[in-house]
Chain A
Amino acid sequence: MDPITILASVNAAMKLTKVLLPEIDRMFRAGLITAAQQAEAHSEYQSLKAVADGQFQGAHWQIDPPATD
């Protein structure tokens, strides 16, 4: 693997870590869950439930069609 590919892979890995860390932080949340934190979770769930299909749109949710040439 050439150095440029290695650097690009490391950069991509760091990006994924950055987006996943907040979720991991939420999962490790222990102790008393405040009313505000409950409201946040409830609101997020209601939003997901209300527009479930809409949550799965966007280019990153599309499977590329087979290439034709």
Chain B
Amino acid sequence: MRYLLSLVILATALAFSPGCNHTQLDPAGVYQGNVGAFNADSTINTAYALMDNFLKWEFENRQVFAGNPEVKKFADHIRANGRQWISSAIALNEAYKLDPTEGNRNALDASLDIIDAALTEATKYMIKKPL
């Protein structure tokens, strides 16, 4: 189980690590070579996908983890906040696209950092009680 939770942390950390690979865009693509815009959209997509997949998994396997309430506690934390996290990130991403100032960029980064920190922190306390 530790391996599994480490995988979740790894996926979360990688999802929010700008520049973890050297992305290059085909200039003929819809992003027209704008790596920053592609990365921001992709990061939000991945954040949602990770949350949605994790919640489906927890929901379908809840009885298995009946003896470890930390798993459901973590999932409920995402259920309670995930919509707001993604909505805020999308709003700030759109604001940055319209007005690509450093301030808007910092606000977007801060929003993504909140999602990263919340998922990472919630996942960490699960590791304290391996199944």
Interface residues of A (CB under 8 A from B): 1, 5, 8-9, 11-13, 15-17, 19-20, 23-24, 26-35, 37-39, 41-42, 44-45, 48-49, 52-53, 55-56, 59-63
Contacts and interface: CB of A to CB of B under 8 A. Distances in A.
Interface of B: 1, 3-4, 7-8, 10-11, 14-15, 20-26, 28-31, 38, 41-42, 44-46, 48-50, 52-61, 64-65, 67, 76, 79-80, 82-83, 86-87, 90, 94, 131
9 contacts: A1-B131, A5-B64, A5-B67, A12-B64, A37-B29, A56-B82, A60-B56, A60-B58, A63-B79
A42 B30 contact: yes
A27 B15 contact: yes
Nearest to B45: A44
Contacts, number: 134
Given A26-B42, A56-B83, A63-B79, A48 B59 contact: no
